[in-house]
Structure 1
Amino acid sequence: MSTVVPLGHNNPPSPFDDAKASILSLEEEARHWLDGAEVSSQAEADAIAKLLDMARKAKKEADTARKKEAKPFDDGKKEIQTRYKPLLEQCDRIADVCKKANQPWLIKLEELRRREEAAARAKAEEEARKAREALEAARASDLAAREEAERQVQFAKDAERAARQASKQTASAKGGARAMTLRTVYRPEITNATEFARWCWQYEKQPLLDCLDAIAKRRVANKFRDMPGVVIHEDKVPV
């Protein structure tokens, strides 16, 4: 006698399919009870409470299935991350030490560059002054003086070009595809918190309010019930 093979024997539903079917069925049940109408009896309240319990259990079962299905991938990813993490961190440490080692030298180069730029700018201004004076002193009928004045103008132009070129130079160290340079960064230091808070109240009011709201919520969560400027509301919510 041949054995009757149950339907789906060769291709049983996956945990995801089971979870999906269960939750879709639960959603149909939820639509029946959660139609916007006000709860008017204990039976209805109990039915909705049961529905809540079913939703929690369905979520837990689906999440368990998700974790089980994802575990091989998570474990594989974790193993790869663990192997590469020390190598990447070592590269970061080497890069950080390289930057610290070259920082004093680059600062010296930058100071030298600024002195050279200042000298080039001073020379350009001096040549421009001489050119103006030469042009003012040269008579229209004095060819030699006029030629000298034109030469002085050219000197002034050359000096101005050199000053502009000096201003474009940067302190750097080149040893690869990307040169190491200095970058200007800015960091704040609050020296008067009260004055800064007043400024924030005027110009950054909403972020300040968000911060104060977060502080108030944290204090209330830690069972503080008395804070100046804060009203504590007591609400009842289902759990």
Structure 2
Amino acid sequence: MNPRAVVGGNNPPDPIDEINASFEADREEAANWTDGAPVENEAQMKAVDALRKSMREWRLSLEKGQKAATAPLRAVYQAELDRWKPTIEDAKRIEGCLVSTVDAFKRKLKAEKEAAERAAWEAANKARREAEEKARAADASNLEAQREVQQAKDAAIEAEKAAQAAKKDQVKGLRTVTRYTIDSHKTALADIYKTDPDAIVAFVDEYVRRNHKTRAIAGVTVTQEQEAY
């Protein structure tokens, strides 16, 4: 009795194997010609050119097959990206609006807290100096004077604690953003050339690569030669 047919049980051929099979003879022949020995006559050249054309057709067939095989996957992937995108963008939009809502207040609060911290450290330094001065001036045999010295030391310690607490009291959700304005491109270029000449060389190399075919560039020699393709 024949086995019962099931979906996928027909084992369809792999399209890569099918494409490879149709070019198998030329692939094997190409291997014979690519052993490192150069072509020496026109007949050999024509044979190699024919094989190169066949191998190009093989590659194009594989690329076409790859595109056909992955197109449905790309479509599903892109559709899922598109499905999530509007909601993600709206979430980002809401985040941005909330950040803008508190921006001015946070910057104002940060300035106030920094001012409070400066004042706290000034008070702590003042209390420390006063305690040191009182300790130097106090009579070691005078009990009340020594008590006052201790009180001054305790006050300096408390002032230090208050300054440390003010230092830790930071506004969350703020970050430092560095921006720049180019006042003179010429001056900036001269500075870069002096301090980072490799960056200028890399820019020139890339600029010449992109533009040497479209215009003459001073200091650049353009040559042409033939090569196989």
- State the TM-score, normalizing by the size of structure 2: 0.86
Query: Distance in 2 between the 1:236 and 1:228 partners?
Result: 24
Aligned to 2:126: 126
Distance change >3 Å, CA 65–CA 233, structure 1 → 2: same
Are 1:230 and 2:220 counterparts? yes
Distance change >3 Å, CA 229–CA 163, structure 1 → 2: farther
Query: Distance in 2 between the 1:201 and 1:91 partners?
Result: 44
Aligned to 1:135: 135
Post-superposition offset of 1:123: 0.6
Post-superposition offset of 1:124: 0.8
Post-superposition offset of 1:20: 4.5
Post-superposition offset of 1:95: 1.1
For 1:178-236, what per-residue CA distance to the aligned partner results, in whole angstroms no more than 9, with x for missing partners?
A: xxx10012123222222322332243333332222111112124x21x21222223233
Alignment of 1:207-218 (within 5 A): 207-218=199-210
Structure 1 spans left out of the alignment, 5+ residues: 1-8, 173-180
Distance change >3 Å, CA 84–CA 154, structure 1 → 2: same
Distance change >3 Å, CA 123–CA 62, structure 1 → 2: same
Post-superposition offset of 1:21: 4.6
Q: How many residues align?
A: 221
Aligned to 2:6: none
Alignment of 1:186-201 (within 5 A): 186-201=178-193
Amino acid in structure 1 at the alignment position of 2:224:
E
Aligned to 1:47: 47
Of all paired residues, the percent bearing the same amino acid is 28
| Structural RMSD (CA) | 2.2
Query: Distance in 1 between the 2:26 and 2:171 partners?
Result: 68
Amino acid in structure 2 at the alignment position of 1:72:
P
Aligned to 2:177: 185
Post-superposition offset of 1:44: 2.3
For 1:120-163, what per-residue CA distance to the aligned partner results, in whole angstroms no more than 9, with x for missing partners?
A: 11111111111111111112222221221122122112212221
Amino acid in structure 2 at the alignment position of 1:90:
D
Distance change >3 Å, CA 29–CA 97, structure 1 → 2: farther
Aligned to 1:175: none
Post-superposition offset of 1:108: 0.9
Structure 2 spans left out of the alignment, 5+ residues: 1-8
Amino acid in structure 1 at the alignment position of 2:223:
H
Query: Distance in 1 between the 2:148 and 2:131 partners?
Result: 9
Post-superposition offset of 1:10: 4.1
Task: Please tell me whether the aligned partners of residues 23 and 54 of structure 2 are also in contact (alpha carbons under 8 angstroms).
Answer: no
For 1:28-47, what per-residue CA distance to the aligned partner results, in whole angstroms no more than 9, with x for missing partners?
A: 43332122223221122222
Task: Please tell me whether the aligned partners of residues 110 and 170 of structure 2 are also in contact (alpha carbons under 8 angstroms).
Answer: yes
Query: Distance in 1 between the 2:135 and 2:26 partners?
Result: 95
Post-superposition offset of 1:23: 6.7
Alignment of 1:16-165 (within 5 A): 16-21=16-21, 27-165=27-165
Are 1:15 and 2:15 counterparts? yes
